[in-house]
């Protein structure tokens, strides 16, 4: 079995793969100050209930947390854990400058969407997490560029912090776009507004591409936003994990 971990600023998304497919998924809250021993304690129940894990692939955008997770898996559980870094991935054509600035999670989305990109086709991966990012992808493992915006929870927190009379509200769709109290008005602006932003940016991206693009949604808020979109799309919760797994597999292959 292979453990794959996508270490983000809000959550650590973990998948257990075996026989080429995803068997189980787990989400832990990211805590940037967790040491290897802390992570080992948090992982002990998870790994105790999971099938035997022999290796691990880690992609992290949080300084030191990926290294600490690697140390926890190898030191406490005897799992051969590899920390994947964008600069070691030679099989992609990265069109952003400098290429080393591309996060491993966004690069993983390219590899996770590979089956949709045959024949030079296009795709856009919309990752709705701490940030909302749009990764514009093309066949032959080409990362064309993208967009990074504030995530839904980040926007909600900033709004409440900046306006003393606006409370924190549950992040869920209101009954109508026109709010009839403060909570509904904020939910409309935050949740429906975020969905409208995603639709609008996808329309702008599509207008700049020479061909149609498949739209893939992933990330912790994809389940909330997906039903509100007017743009046809697929919801792929494991997109980044699938891509990290594919990158790990490629690192194990001898150079051609």
Question: Which stretches of 19-84 are assigned E, i.e. beta strand?
Answer: 21-29, 55-60, 80-83
157-168 in b/e burial notation, b at 16+ Cβ within 10 A?
eebeeeeeeeee
- Out of 105, 127, 135, 242, the active site residue is 105
Cα-Cα-Cα-Cα torsion 60, 61, 62, 67, nearest 10 degrees, comes to: 30
How many angstroms separate the CA atoms of 123 and 219, rounded? 16
Residue 43's φ and ψ, nearest 5 degrees, are -85, -15
Residues β-bridged to residue 18? 21
For residue 41, what are its two tokens?
């304690």
- Bond before 98 cis per omega within 30 degrees: yes
Cα-Cα-Cα-Cα torsion 217, 220, 225, 226, nearest 10 degrees, comes to: 40
How many angstroms separate the CA atoms of 154 and 17, rounded? 31
Give yes or no: 135 in active site.
no
Burial of residue 98 (number of CB atoms within 10 Å: 0-12, 13-18, 19+):
exposed
List the catalytic residues.
105
């Amino acid at each position: 079995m292979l453990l794959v971990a996508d270490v983000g600023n809000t959550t650590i998304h973990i998948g257990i793969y075996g026989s080429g497919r995803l068997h189980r998924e787990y989400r832990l809250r990211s805590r940037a100050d967790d040491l290897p021993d802390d992570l080992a304690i948090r992982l002990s129940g998870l790994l105790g209930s999971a099938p035997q894990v022999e290796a691990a692939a880690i992609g992290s955008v949080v300084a030191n947390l990926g290294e600490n997770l690697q140390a926890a898996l190898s030191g406490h559980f005897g799992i051969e854990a590899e920390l994947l870094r964008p600069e070691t991935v030679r099989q992609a054509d990265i069109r952003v400058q400098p290429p080393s600035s591309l996060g491993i999670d966004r690069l993983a989305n390219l590899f996770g969407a590979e089956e949709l990109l045959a024949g030079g086709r296009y795709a856009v991966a919309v990752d709705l997490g701490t940030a909302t990012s749009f990764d514009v992808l093309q066949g032959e493992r080409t990362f064309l560029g993208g967009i990074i915006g504030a995530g839904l929870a980040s926007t909600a927190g900033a709004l409440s912090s900046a306006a003393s009379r606006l409370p924190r509200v549950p992040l869920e769709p209101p009954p109508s776009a026109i709010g009839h109290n403060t909570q509904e008005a904020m939910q409309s602006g935050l949740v429906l507004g975020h969905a409208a932003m995603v639709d609008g940016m996808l329309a702008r991206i599509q207008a700049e591409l020479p061909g149609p693009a498949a739209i893939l949604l992933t990330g912790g808020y994809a389940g909330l936003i997906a039903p509100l979109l007017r743009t046809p799309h697929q919801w792929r919760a494991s997109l980044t994990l699938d891509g990290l797994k594919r990158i790990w597999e490629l690192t194990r292959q001898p150079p051609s």
